Amino acid sequence: MGFIFQLANARMRRNGRLRIYFMENLANDHLKHEKDCCHSKQVAKNQFFSKVLGVFKAYQPLIVILCFCILLSLIQLHSFEHREFMHYFMGYFFVFLSLLKFFDLKGFVEGFSTYDFITQHVRAYGYLYPFIELSLGVAYLTHFNIPITALITLIVMLVAGAGVLTSMLKGQKVKCACLGTTLNVELGAISVLENFGMGVMAAYELLYIV
């Protein structure tokens, strides 16, 4: 009888140790899983911030130009009126972009000809393009014949944007020439937004007038 009790106690102790062993393993696995999850989240977070920082550094000149355009446009306004703000913004934007192209006109034409439809067939258009942008900028800043200015803007931006979009869809790895040779990045969503964004503002102006 005593032997049976001893055997039963030994089995209970062994089962107890096994339960403790499995619980410890389960707790360790849970902690390891939590650490792995935290590590994965931290890695994903670091990758996200690195990507954002990379985009900011790549497009820093364009971001600075946009900030200056907004600031200068607000300074010009006596009272906020969205169409007047849009005219000043587009004017300063075109002027800044054209000036950067003039620093290396030949380099701009070389880059522009890789994706612009007209420049690929008529190279002189590439040399004329910065002058068109400058003229549009001055026209917006002086409020000169806004309907005609907006119409020309719409046509120029749609053609340029179509060239950018077509090149992207074909998977061509070409550099964006929007800031001349200052911006050393491939064509992307920013390039599309730049051209079609200005086109949309020009279209809005035309619809507002009509």
State the CB neighbour count (10 A cutoff) for residue 107: 15
Judge whether residue 64 has pLDDT over 70. Answer: yes
pLDDT for 8 equals: 46
- 76 and 154 inside one domain: yes
- Residue where one domain finishes, among candidates 57, 79, 103: 57
Judge whether residue 159 has pLDDT over 70. Answer: yes
Sign, Cα dihedral of 167, 99, 195, 160: negative
pLDDT for 194 equals: 85
- 17 and 100 inside one domain: no
- Residue where one domain finishes, among candidates 14, 41, 57: 57
- 49 and 143 inside one domain: no
Judge whether residue 7 has pLDDT over 60. Answer: no
When divided into structural domains, the chain yields a total of 2
- 170 and 195 inside one domain: yes
DSSP state of 78: S
- 138 and 163 inside one domain: yes
Name the residue among 196, 207, 188 with its Cα closest to residue 59. 188
Judge whether residue 92 has pLDDT over 50. Answer: yes
- 45 and 97 inside one domain: no
Residue 7's domain spans which residues? 1-57
Percent of the chain past pLDDT 90, that is, above it, reads 43
What's the predicted TM-score (pTM) here? 0.73
In whole angstroms, give the CA distance from residue 189 to residue 181: 18
- 91 and 37 inside one domain: no
- 39 and 77 inside one domain: no
- 52 and 70 inside one domain: no
In whole angstroms, give the CA distance from residue 25 to residue 31: 10
Q: Per residue in 37-53, pLDDT tens?
A: 665 666 666 666 666 66
- 69 and 44 inside one domain: no
- 48 and 68 inside one domain: no
Answer whether 179's CB lies under 8 Å from 188's CB. no
Mean pLDDT of 118-126: 94
Side-chain half-sphere exposure of 18, counting CA atoms within 13 A? 6
Judge whether residue 81 has pLDDT over 60. Answer: yes
In whole angstroms, give the CA distance from residue 96 to residue 133: 9
- 79 and 160 inside one domain: yes
In whole angstroms, give the CA distance from residue 91 to residue 69: 8
